[in-house]
């Protein structure tokens, strides 16, 4: 996929520059050791025609928290970055977009602290996911990183080696995506999304602690509160998940995506009759600021 063309603009350390002309340092600690933090954000064309970045404050606050968790200097202001991101979208003529800020380190081949960080924000076109496709998910042979070895609540680049291994393994085995367990063999999350399952009219999702606390996960919990759908945050095993009525992943990029099967066990409830489907529609209405189905 081409993420940029000759005229694409990125935001680089406070300036708007052409992606094709921007340079980076091959001696960066980020490139060699995965020592960087990033965000995955989306903007949508809303019902009124305006462009809106969904949960912009939450994402830029998490970027800051991720940088602080990794001892990276971080002096950017959330509101200024949101403003810069809107300008970036406009300069690139984007409405439905994926926005990727990354905070990275200067040249440093040691493990020592840096006294500055760099920030790049890129954006490219990404349309609304319509949710027709259901995915086949398998239990990964890879576990999520142990929270005693990493700051797992941070969205750190290095963690994504684990995600890449898990996702590539699932695809090599003919599945669409992987589900990873934590170091105690409880279900944790997907390579880039949080998981919920439905059983007897209730939703269950792993608690924070061994997962990335997803902004979409929090939005799903908010939607459930508004729609009077009970949600339990608790640990569970892959065996319990196989007994579920239905399941879905949620994340900024994936939005809400239903599962057809897990380790080839097909879920009994038709996706269109699940709580996940209701939430998928409510989520879509929320990001596009259309009238809420939940209020009808």
Q: Is 182 a residue that touches ligand PMP (CB under 6 A)?
A: no
The backbone region for 13, taken as left when phi is positive above 0, alpha when psi lies in -120 to 50, beta otherwise, is: left
Q: Is 195 a residue that touches ligand PMP (CB under 6 A)?
A: no
Nearer to ligand PMP, 9 or 287 (CB): 287
Q: Is 192 a residue that touches ligand PMP (CB under 6 A)?
A: yes
Distance CA(84)–CA(73), nearest Å, equals: 20
Quote the strand ranges of the chain, DSSP E: 9-12, 15-18, 36-38, 41-45, 51-53, 97-104, 118-125, 135-143, 177-181, 187-189, 194-199, 202-205, 231-233, 246-251, 255-262, 265-266
Catalytic-labelled residue, pool 52, 55, 64, 155: 155
Q: Is 178 a residue that touches ligand PMP (CB under 6 A)?
A: no
Out of 28, 43, 114, 194, the residue judged to bind ligand PMP by CB under 6 A:
194
Q: Is 252 a residue that touches ligand PMP (CB under 6 A)?
A: yes
What does DSSP assign to residue 51? E
Contact in structure between 265 and 214 (CB atoms under 8 Å)? no
Sole window of 90-98, 187-195, 228-236, 240-248 interacting with ligand PMP (rule: CB under 6 A): 187-195
Contact in structure between 197 and 206 (CB atoms under 8 Å)? no
Q: Is 251 a residue that touches ligand PMP (CB under 6 A)?
A: yes
For the CB of residue 133, give the shortest distance to ligand PMP in the complex, in Å: 18
Q: Is 214 a residue that touches ligand PMP (CB under 6 A)?
A: yes
For the CB of residue 124, give the shortest distance to ligand PMP in the complex, in Å: 16
For the CB of residue 268, give the shortest distance to ligand PMP in the complex, in Å: 26
277-296 burial: b if 16+ Cβ within 10 Å, else e: bbbbbbbbbbbbeeeeebee
Q: Is 206 a residue that touches ligand PMP (CB under 6 A)?
A: no
* Residue 64 known to be catalytic: no
Site residues for ligand PMP, 31-60, by CB under 6 A, read 40
H-type alpha helices, the chain: 29-33, 56-69, 78-91, 160-172, 215-226, 238-242, 275-287
Sole window of 77-85, 120-128, 192-200, 284-292 interacting with ligand PMP (rule: CB under 6 A): 192-200
| Interface residues toward ligand PMP, by CB under 6 A | 40, 163, 189, 192-194, 212, 214-217, 251-252
């Amino acid at each position: 996929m081409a993420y940029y063309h000759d005229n694409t603009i990125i935001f680089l350390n406070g300036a708007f520059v052409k992606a094709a002309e921007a340079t980076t340092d091959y001696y960066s600690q980020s490139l060699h050791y995965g020592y960087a933090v990033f965000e995955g954000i989306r903007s949508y064309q809303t019902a009124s025609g305006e462009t809106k970045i969904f949960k912009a404050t939450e994402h830029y606050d998490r970027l800051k928290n991720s940088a602080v968790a990794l001892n990276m200097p971080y002096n950017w202001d959330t509101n200024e970055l949101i403003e810069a991101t809107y300008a970036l979208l406009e300069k690139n003529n984007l409405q439905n977009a994926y926005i990727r800020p990354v905070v990275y380190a200067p040249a440093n081949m040691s493990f020592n602290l840096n006294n500055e960080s760099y920030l790049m924000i890129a954006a490219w076109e990404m349309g609304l996911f319509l949710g027709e496709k259901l995915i086949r998910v398998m239990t990964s042979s890879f576990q999520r990183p142990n929270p005693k070895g990493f700051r797992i609540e941070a969205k750190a680049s290095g963690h994504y080696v684990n995600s890449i291994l898990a996702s590539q393994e699932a695809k090599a085995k003919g599945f669409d995506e992987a589900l990873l367990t934590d170091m105690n063999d409880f279900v944790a999350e997907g390579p880039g999304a949080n998981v919920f399952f439905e059983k007897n009219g209730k939703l269950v999702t792993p608690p924070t602690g061994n997962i990335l606390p997803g902004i979409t996960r929090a939005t799903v919990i908010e939607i459930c509160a508004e729609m009077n759908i009970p949600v339990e945050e608790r640990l569970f095993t892959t065996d319990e998940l196989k007994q579920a009525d239905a399941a879905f992943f949620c994340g900024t990029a994936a939005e809400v995506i239903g599962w057809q099967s897990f380790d080839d066990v097909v879920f009994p409830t038709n996706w269109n009759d699940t709580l996940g489907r209701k939430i998928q529609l409510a989520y879509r209405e929320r990001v596009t600021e259309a009238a809420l189905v939940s209020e009808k």
